[in-house]
Amino acid sequence: MAYINQYTSRLDKLNFKDMFGGDFFLTWEKSFDEILAAFTVADALRWLRENNISTRIFDSGLGVSLFRDNSTRTRFSFASACNLLGLEVQDLDEGKSQIAHGETVRETANMISFMADVIGIRDDMYIGKGNTYMREVARAVREGHIDGNLEQCPTLVNLQCDIDHPTQTMADMNHIIHHFGGIDKLKGKKVAMTWAYSPSYGKPLSVPQGVIGLMTRFGMDVALAHPEGYEVMPEVEETAKKNAALSGGKFSKSNSMKEAFKDADIVYPKSWAPFAAMEKRTDLYGNSNFDGIKALEKDLLAQNVQHKDWECTEDLMKTTKDGKALYLHCLPADISGVSCKEGEVAASVFEHYRVPLYKQASHKPYIIAAMIFLSKIKCPQETLTNMITRNLSRHFS
């Protein structure tokens, strides 16, 4: 009981009451207290599971997942999170549903939600579409609940959209907090969020945007670096600037990977497609101009090839703080000589950080579970305490 009290005591000091009954779209829409509450609950759930204590808050119910882009880590993290809380997962395959026949968003949202407590959506392919679609689904199920068609209003969790990847960057941030020994140790730490070469095209902007939108809230020195022409959404940059000003941190931009890596405490070399190109791709898709999309892809691949020197190498890592920066990646990484001929990171660097990378990824199921937990439980402190006192084992030895 004493150990769980450290988590409930932290929650007692935070104002997160607006998370109850809410959704999770973008990290910068949440207050700092709400972000900290999610980290606290995630850590509490992890501790409970590691100590063989059941964390089920549901006896039945569904977690519905909709992935409009390929996924391994996030798909299994969502399933793990739902299972951790007692929900069964049902994946919605649009190709096998009436969505393919023109069913409306409102109708689909209500039909999949009769016994659903959470809906997780990944929709990151087209600028201006993904986050908008998620909000449309959330409005539809809320209306369905108000109209009496749904017994409960499902929580919507953004599993990656065109703007942000909150479950990923929250997992990244919690990994950083644990690595450095607490939030109070982060002020002034330099984060290099840099573009890196990839032989593929069209990687979403949501990870770099999510990183600069979240990590600037912790008083850190966030350096965004990319070749000319690989800009991210200007409105997210503005958010990062405002966050840095409020937290006492810094936000800077450059076209030099070396400059960003110099004396960095944390590095995050990751490929992404240019914002302007992704906007163009969305327009082409909207006009069903698939020949135009193929031409754009060819142009972007040729543009990428000009920047093969944007690779995370041993020599570059030596320029970081004491040559020991924490290397982050959302995975899968394009590993030079392993998964591709030339890519984002040298094989030796990736291998050196393999274990920390897996630890980074391990935070995601608990972060997603915390988002659901805080939306469904009015008094998390009481529920966490009750999990101890009811003394139900997760498994029998």
DSSP per residue, 5-65: HHHHHHHHT---GGGTT--B--GGGS-HHHHHHHHHHHHHHHHHHHTTB-----SS-EEEE
Residues 98 and 106 sit within 8 Å (Cβ to Cβ): no
Does CATH number 3.40.50.1370 belong to domain 166-361? yes
> Phi then psi for 338, rounded to 5 degrees?
-120, -70
The pLDDT assigned to 97 comes to 61
The pLDDT assigned to 98 comes to 58
pLDDT at 325 over 80: yes
Q: Which residues contact 180 (CB under 8 A, 6 or more apart)?
A: 186, 189, 265
- pLDDT, mean of residues 147-156: 96
Does CATH number 3.40.50.1370 belong to domain 2-164+364-389? yes
Residues 74 and 160 sit within 8 Å (Cβ to Cβ): yes
* 3-state SS assignment for residue 341: coil
Six-digit token string for 10: 């932290």
Quick one: CA dihedral 7, 8, 10, 11, positive or negative? positive
Alpha-carbon span 271 to 195, nearest angstrom? 5
The pLDDT assigned to 1 comes to 64
Residues 186 and 219 sit within 8 Å (Cβ to Cβ): yes
Q: Where in the chain is the domain with CATH 3.40.50.1370?
A: 2-164+364-389, 166-361
pLDDT tens track for 282-291: 999 899 999 9
* 3-state SS assignment for residue 336: strand
pLDDT at 94 over 90: no
Alpha-carbon span 18 to 37, nearest angstrom? 11
pLDDT at 101 over 60: no
pLDDT tens track for 215-238: 999 999 999 999 999 999 999 999
- pLDDT, mean of residues 369-376: 98
Q: Which helix (DSSP H) or strand (DSSP E) does residue 298 occupy?
A: helix 290-305
Bridge-based pairing state of the strands 266-269 and 190-194? parallel
Q: What is the pTM of this model?
A: 0.96
The pLDDT assigned to 388 comes to 93
pLDDT tens track for 340-369: 999 999 999 999 999 999 999 999 999 999
The pLDDT assigned to 34 comes to 98
pLDDT at 396 over 90: no
pLDDT at 100 over 60: no
